[in-house]
């Protein structure tokens, strides 16, 4: 089905990406599936399905099967993989068959779920399917020297989770995972607007607010944005204006939890590696790392250098695609 020898898949809670060394990123779609509520038949996946979220009639449901970092529904997850793999294969043509695939699964997936994912990928025509730990993939994708005996700290803020890990010599020395990521920020914004303005807004509006005027730093040049929703008192559509300060207030607690998780991981660091962290700092990846001011805010709080990965939304997929050579090297070294 595929025409490349080595393929990396990032099965993210928010986005599914497919990367090959030869052709680069060949697929990047939201991890969303639209189903017929009665027959469970898949009606759409990816971008097309995301467009339907919150807008479908009763008999259609659009859902994210891995939303919180665990696989809530693995039949649907497998369908998502199969449909998107078909799409990816079309991009590639058919000159080379039977690729070796490396998949990065959500951190909360159980071993049974991981096996189900491997099976689904194998059924799409893969010769071999290996799994890789997300922080290791993120670090490789962000060009960190993970195979050297130095501390590489990766903070990956995804949709459903935040993963913080210290990697040295190809392995995870210490890591923490938090069930809070970009989605929680969206939910906090929705709650805040509902409480303060009695206005119900959709999840896409909340995400737009976060991406357009959301800041991690308290101290920023205030911005405003007009939004529409349903007035909970009159039941009618209404437009209001909100400020970036309000948005920041809405998700401040969630940001502080992310900060605490980073601090806890750094505190766990073996003393021999602490010196490296002071010098080399922390690498931010994942879509949440793109929140305005995130890098500077974290640097102020943890007092070590903070770097933003070259393309935070793609680090894991790139690292997964590049990892086969690295995995072989590490396996032979260990």
- Give how far the C-alpha of residue 16 lies from the chain's centroid of Cα atoms, to the nearest Å: 9
The full 3-state SS of 19-70, as one line of letters, equals EECCCEEEEEEECCEEEECCCCCEEEEHHHHHCCCCCCCCCEEEECCCCCCC
Partner whose binding site includes residue 290, from ligand ADP, Mg ion, none (CB under 5 to 8 Å by kind): ligand ADP
Q: How many residues form the binding site for Mg ion (CB under 5 A)?
A: 3
Closest CB to ligand ADP among 176 and 210? 210
Letters for 301-320 (x = contact with Mg ion by CB under 5 A, - = none) are: ---------------x----
The answer to whether residue 158 forms part of the interface with Mg ion (CB under 5 A) is yes
Phi/psi of residue 275, nearest 5 degrees: -60, -40
Partner whose binding site includes residue 160, from Mg ion, ligand ADP, none (CB under 5 to 8 Å by kind): ligand ADP
Closest CB to ligand ADP among 155 and 269? 155
Which parts of this chain interact with ligand ADP (CB under 6 A)? 12-15, 158-160, 181-183, 207, 210-211, 286-288, 290-291, 313
Contact assessment for residue 118 and residue 129, using Cβ atoms and an 8 Å cutoff: yes
The answer to whether residue 287 forms part of the interface with Mg ion (CB under 5 A) is no
The answer to whether residue 12 forms part of the interface with Mg ion (CB under 5 A) is yes
Minimum Å distance from CB 156 to Mg ion? 6
Local structure of residue 181 (DSSP, 8 states) = S
Please report how the helices 111-123 and 74-92 are oriented relative to each other, as an axis angle in degrees rounded to 10: 30
β-bridge partners, 172: 167
Closest CB to ligand ADP among 18 and 269? 18
| Dihedral sign for Cα atoms in the order 166, 312, 185, 110 | negative
Interface positions with Mg ion (CB under 5 A): 12, 158, 316
């Amino acid at each position: 089905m595929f025409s490349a020898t080595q393929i990396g898949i990032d099965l993210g809670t928010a986005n599914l990406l497919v990367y090959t060394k030869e052709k680069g990123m060949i697929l990047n779609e939201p991890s969303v599936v639209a189903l017929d509520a009665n027959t469970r038949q898949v009606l759409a996946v990816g971008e097309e399905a995301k467009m339907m979220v919150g807008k479908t009639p009763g008999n259609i449901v659009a859902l994210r099967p891995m939303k919180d970092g665990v696989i809530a529904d693995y039949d649907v997850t497998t369908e998502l993989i199969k449909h998107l793999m078909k799409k990816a294969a079309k991009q590639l043509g058919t000159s080379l068959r039977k690729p070796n695939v490396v998949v990065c699964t959500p951190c909360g997936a159980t071993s049974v779920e991981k096996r189900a994912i491997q099976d689904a990928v194998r059924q799409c025509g893969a010769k071999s399917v290996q799994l890789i730990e997300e922080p290791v993939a993120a670090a490789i994708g962000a060009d960190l020297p993970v195979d050297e005996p130095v501390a590489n700290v990766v903070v990956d803020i995804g949709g459903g989770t935040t993963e913080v890990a210290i990697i040295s010599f190809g392995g995870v020395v210490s890591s923490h995972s938090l069930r809070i990521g970009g989605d929680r920020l969206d939910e906090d914004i929705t709650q805040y607007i509902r409480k303060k303005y009695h206005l119900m807004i959709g999840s896409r509006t909340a995400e737009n607010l976060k991406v357009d005027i959301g800041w991690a730093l308290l101290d920023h040049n205030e911005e405003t944005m007009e939004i529409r929703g349903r007035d909970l008192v009159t039941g009618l559509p209404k437009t209001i204006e909100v400020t970036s300060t309000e948005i920041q207030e809405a998700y401040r607690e969630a940001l502080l939890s992310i900060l605490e998780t980073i601090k806890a991981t750094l505190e766990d660091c073996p003393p021999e590696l602490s010196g490296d962290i002071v010098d080399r700092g922390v690498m931010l990846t994942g879509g949440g790392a793109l929140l305005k001011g995130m890098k500077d805010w974290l640097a102020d709080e943890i007092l070590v250098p903070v770097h933003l990965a070259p393309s935070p939304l793609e680090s894991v997929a790139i690292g997964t695609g590049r990892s086969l050579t690295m995995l072989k090297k590490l396996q032979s070294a260990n």
